[in-house]
Amino acid sequence: MPHFDVLIVGGGQAGAYAAIQLRQQGFVGTVAIAGRENELPYERPPLSKEYLLGDKEWERLLIRPASFWQEKAIALLLGLEVTAVQPTARQVTMNDGSSLGYGKLIWATGGEPRRLACPGTDLKGVHVVRTRAHADAILGQLSDVSRAVIVGGGYIGLEAAAVLRKLGKEVTLLEALPRVLARVAGEDVSSFYEAEHRAQGVDLRTSAAISAVEGLDRVSGVRLADGSLIECQMVIVGIGIIPSVEPLLAAGIKGENGIEVDDFCRTSDENIYAIGDCAAQANRFAGGAVLRVESVQNANDQAACAVKAILGEAQSYAAIPWFWSNQYDLKLQTVGISSGYDAAILRGDCAARCFSVLYLKAGRLIAVDAINATRDYVQARKLIEEWAMIAPEDLVDTSRPLKDLPRL
Tell me the H-state helices in 9-123: 13-24, 50-53, 66-71
Note the pLDDT of residue 73: 98
Inter-axis angle of helices 13-24 and 296-310, nearest 10: 40
Contact 370, 376 (CB under 8 A): yes
CATH class of the region 115-237: alpha beta
**pLDDT tens column, 117-141:** 999 999 999 999 999 999 999 999 9
Residue 165's pLDDT is 97
Taking the C-alpha atoms of residue 256 and residue 337, their distance in angstroms, rounded to an integer, is: 21
**So what CATH class is 329-404?**
alpha beta
DSSP single-letter state for residue 26: T
pLDDT given for residue 3 in this prediction: 97
Which CATH code is given to the segment(s) 3-112+241-311? Answer: 3.50.50.60
- Same topology, domains 3-112+241-311 and 115-237? Answer is yes
Region 236-246: what's the mean pLDDT?
A: 97
The distance in angstroms from the start CA to the end CA of the chain is: 62
Write out 250-316 in H/E/C secondary structure.
HCCCCEECEEEECCCCECCCCCEEECHHHEEEEEHHHCCEEECCCCHHHHHHHHHHHHHHHCCCCCC
pLDDT value of position 196: 97
pLDDT at position 225:
96
Mean pLDDT across the stretch 166-173? 97
**Span 283-288, mean pLDDT?**
94
How confident is the model at residue 1, as a pLDDT?
87
* DSSP per residue, 8-25: EE--SHHHHHHHHHHHHT
3-state secondary structure at position 130: coil
**What is the rounded average pLDDT of the residues 157-181?**
97
Strands annotated E in 122-245: 126-128, 147-151, 170-174, 203-205, 210-215, 219-224, 229-231, 234-237, 241-243
Q: What is the pLDDT of residues 56-93, one digit of tens each?
A: 999 999 999 999 999 999 999 999 999 999 999 999 99
Give the span between the Cα atoms of 111 and 274, in whole angstroms: 13
Task: Locate the domains of the chain by residue range.
Answer: 3-112+241-311, 115-237, 329-404
Distance in angstroms (rounded) separating the CA atoms of residues 337 and 340: 9
Strand pairing category for 330-336 and 364-371 = antiparallel
Spatial distance between the Cα atoms of 107 and 121, rounded to a whole number of angstroms: 30
Residue 377's pLDDT band, with cuts at 50, 70 and 90, is very high
Average pLDDT over residues 330-341: 96
pLDDT tens track for 209-225: 999 999 999 999 999 99
